[in-house]
Structure 1
Amino acid sequence: MARFDLAFSSLTLSLLYIAGTAIATTTTSIEEACKATRYPAVCVETLQAHATDPQPSLQALAETTLSAGIAKIKQAKTFVSQMTNGKGLSANEHAALKDCFDGMGDGLDQLTQSVPELRKMGQDQGGDFLWHKSNVQTWVSAALTNYSDCYEDSDEPTALNGSIKSAIRGHVEPAAQVISNALALVNQLQQGH
């Protein structure tokens, strides 16, 4: 009986060691991928859903991050929509908020079409990999420009007062950070990996 207990204990310890190693590898893998992003702490936080995946692919990490960014930008767009309907706005403020809302819609369309394009990258073993990657990079970059225009407002610096601009920044910037991280992860993707 003692031999059985010893063998069982050894097996249990071995399995715990392997499981512990797999979890450590996951964290390292996510942390390694996130090092190349502009907002690594946000990246790691976004990807916590992959903590149980022993070796998440870079493509899966990019897709997860992009999907999280889409969800966040939808929330920010709802916030801007509510502000647009607010009373007491000047004509310039209303126009700037409408431009922001419209730009967010365009950016959301670009991000949404990027998800299936990103999936095609993983399926494509031919020469179209770079084409799909370029499409995703272009659309995600354009979406980021639309979102930063909401709170940077460089064309009309006086259109939004400080409190409105700060409120928009507080909702849009966190989403833009996640989307920026998704772009950085896409940039790391290479054909056949």
Structure 2
Amino acid sequence: MVELRRSLSLVSTFLILFCTSTTAQPPAPRRSRTRAYIEVSCQITEYPDLCIRSLTAYIHGANATILSPRKLVHYALLASQHRAQHTRAFLLQVSKPLKAKKDQEYQAVKDCLEQIDMSVDQLSMSIKELRQLGREEATPSPSRDDVVWHISNMETWVGSALTDATTCLDEFPGGVRMSRMKATVKAKVLNVAQVTGNALSLFHHFVVRYRVPGSPKKP
């Protein structure tokens, strides 16, 4: 009888420990509302995986909450600007020794640097213009003409930034054997072009409401 009680006690202890160990495991982390919103919104872009990666970086890095089309555009433009600035810094770094050695690759890098430099400026202007658009819409009676003007400027500048990055890529045509440096430049510039293209897609989605006649609505 004593042995039976001991056996039952051991079984009970085992069951308690087993249940405790299984229920004590933390639940799988749920996606945040911001990440879920980004994942859905990025499906309209040409490179959705890249779009998700570039935007979710701001959730952790800047602790940002992105739950509106306007904020999506804002952070997409910031991502493009940062990639372009990083690429410009890299081009500046590699161009100096090429110039000193009078390397034949210098001209291609120099031309590309000029294009990326313009992309950085255009993306900076588009970010400022988005802020201006927000201020205009915050007024009691926003002027539709002013709203359309800001949108037109943004469309021009983001589109030009994409064109300039694409023009830079033309300096390094496919199918041609290139140095490791050129391959790295091309990869970085391609990344700028893709991120900027995604930003332009999100921007076009954001301004659809303004294409319809009527008073602009606050986002």
Q: TM-score range by the shorter chain?
A: 0.7 to 0.9
Please report the RMSD computed on the Cα atoms of aligned residues, expressed in angstroms.
Answer: 2.6
Counting only pairs closer than 5 Å after superposition, residues 157-176 of structure 1 correspond to structure 2 as 162-163=178-179, 164-176=181-193
Partner of 2:152: 134
Tell me if structure 1 keeps the 8 A contact 2:55–2:79. Answer: no
**SS of equivalent residue, structure 2 residue 199:** helix
Please, which of 118, 124, 128 is the counterpart of residue 106 of structure 1?
118
For residues 73 and 33 of structure 1, what CA distance do their matches in structure 2 show? 23
Tell me the CA shift for residue 112 of structure 1: 0.6
Q: Report sequence identity in percent.
A: 30
Partner of 1:39: 47
Partner of 1:26: 34
Assess, with a 3 A threshold, how the Cα gap between structure 1 residues 167 and 121 changes in structure 2: closer, same or farther. same
Assess, with a 3 A threshold, how the Cα gap between structure 1 residues 165 and 120 changes in structure 2: closer, same or farther. same
Aligned residue type for 1:177:
Q
Tell me if structure 2 keeps the 8 A contact 1:69–1:178. Answer: yes
Aligned length: 168
Partner of 1:149: 167
Tell me the CA shift for residue 161 of structure 1: 5.9
Partner of 2:103: 90
For residues 81 and 55 of structure 1, what CA distance do their matches in structure 2 show? 33
* Deviating more after overlay: 143-152 vs 106-115: 143-152
User: Which entry has the higher C-alpha Rg, 1 or 2?
Assistant: 2
Aligned residue type for 1:69:
S
Tell me the CA shift for residue 143 of structure 1: 1.0
- Ranked by relative contact order (alpha carbons within 8 Å, sequence separation 6 or more), the top structure is 1
Using the size of structure 1 for normalisation, the TM-score is 0.75
Aligned residue type for 1:37:
T
**What are structure 2's unaligned runs of at least 5 residues?**
1-29, 137-141, 210-215
Tell me if structure 2 keeps the 8 A contact 1:150–1:168. Answer: no
**What are structure 1's unaligned runs of at least 5 residues?**
1-19
